[in-house]
Amino acid sequence: MKTSLERIVAALCGLSASLVMASAVHAQNVKERNFKYAFVNQKDHPQGMGAQRFAELVEKKSGGKMKVKLFPAGVLGGDSAIISSLQGGTVDLTMVVPGSLSVAIKDFALFDLPFLFNNEKEADHVIDGPVGRKLLEQLPAKGLVGLTYFEHGFRNVTNSRRPVAKMEDLQGLKLRTMQIPVMIDMFNALGANASPLPLPEVYTALEQKAVDGQENPYSLVEASKYYEIQKYASDTRHTFNPIVVLFSKKVWDQLSEDERKILNDAARETQPYQRAANREVNAKAAEFLKSKGMTLTSFPPQERERLREKLKPVTDKYVKQLDPAMAQEMFAELAKARAVK
């Protein structure tokens, strides 16, 4: 049992530590800040989980001065609208798939090429390497600052008409795709009818049968409750999506170096948490969707190879439009990842 003196000493030590921490935060050039973080997925989706962790870290690292308010589920618009808001400085943060940036910076389309990655390990190697960094370095010229890469994962097809177990099963399906040229060309080349729509409009389009299906990771199918209006799912894994976490350059330029460091450090520390959460949720989502009555069809590896072969002209078309040196470097990094056992 501690004596009264020991308790007093312990209390004084605790107070001293608190004062040192408070002094360190006070010594930083940190002002009271309130940031808007808008994104199209649900708050309980792994992207929302990452945003929440990021917000907590920013507040902690700033001693409560910098706060991040989340605006999930597309309440401030789709990806294109939110990116414009960042460029204008009316929204501070968002996170988008690379293809949403490819209109402004063509080379971001590299990550949306069909069947580019076989697994998450390959994706991590390329995205976290020099190619990923060089792409982020191009963002400030477009009014954006890239903080890090989160993860969305492998995209799969769902629909309300029939199981999809082979390429021919895609024929004639009207599928919602992202508003990204390579995605539209991909599904049209496979015999489906691509129907690009912003994510906030997808549930209604599926419910009203304006489209037969859509393609997204299973985590989003669960979070967006597409299982209520979609009967069939197939693990096509046709594209792997990283997620680019963006900050408004217009606002960034007004911040101190200390404030920027807090944001960068919080993003870097959130990245492994968000990716791990995304992989865990995606792994469990398939069973959840089954429990809700969806029929999940396995898409055999040989069929995936047939699709890859069928889509070679699409891949070649987009590679030719991009920086050849960047494309060459990406494929070289991918080869290195595959060489590591």
Confidence of residue 10 (pLDDT cuts 50, 70, 90): low
pLDDT value of position 340: 84
Structure tokens at 296: 């999940």
Strands 240-248 and 93-96: antiparallel
20 within some domain: no
The pLDDT tens digits for 85-143 are 999 999 999 999 999 999 899 999 999 999 999 999 999 999 999 999 999 999 999 99
Reduced to 3 states, what is the DSSP secondary structure of residue 25?
helix
The pLDDT tens digits for 182-240 are 999 999 999 999 999 999 999 999 999 999 999 999 999 999 999 999 999 999 999 99
Whether the predicted pLDDT of 310 surpasses 70:
yes
User: How far out from the chain centre does Cα 227 lie?
Assistant: 21
pLDDT value of position 226: 98
pLDDT value of position 21: 44
One-character DSSP codes across 303-322: HHHHHHHHTHHHHHHHHHHS
173 within some domain: yes
What number is the average pLDDT over the span 162-178? 97
- Determine contact, residues 49/277, Cβ cutoff 8 Å: yes
- Determine contact, residues 254/149, Cβ cutoff 8 Å: no
CATH code of the domain in which 142 resides: 3.40.190.170
pLDDT value of position 5: 43
3 within some domain: no
d(CA 195, CA 183): 10
Whether the predicted pLDDT of 23 surpasses 70:
no
pLDDT value of position 22: 45
Whether the predicted pLDDT of 19 surpasses 70:
no
pTM: 0.88
197 within some domain: yes
What number is the average pLDDT over the span 146-172? 97
324 CB burial (10 A radius; 0-12, 13-18, 19+): exposed
User: How far out from the chain centre does Cα 136 lie?
Assistant: 14
66 within some domain: yes
The pLDDT tens digits for 240-288 are 999 999 999 999 999 999 999 999 999 999 999 999 999 999 999 999 9
Q: How many domains does the chain have?
A: 1
- Determine contact, residues 159/252, Cβ cutoff 8 Å: no
Pick the closest to residue 230 from 243, 220, 242, 238 (CA basis).
220
Q: Pick left, alpha or beta for residue 43 (phi over 0 → left; psi -120 to 50 → alpha; otherwise beta).
A: alpha
The pLDDT tens digits for 48-83 are 999 999 999 999 999 999 999 999 999 999 999 999
By residue range, what is the domain housing residue 187? 30-339
Whether the predicted pLDDT of 306 surpasses 70:
yes
174 within some domain: yes
pLDDT value of position 292: 97
180 within some domain: yes
pLDDT value of position 7: 52
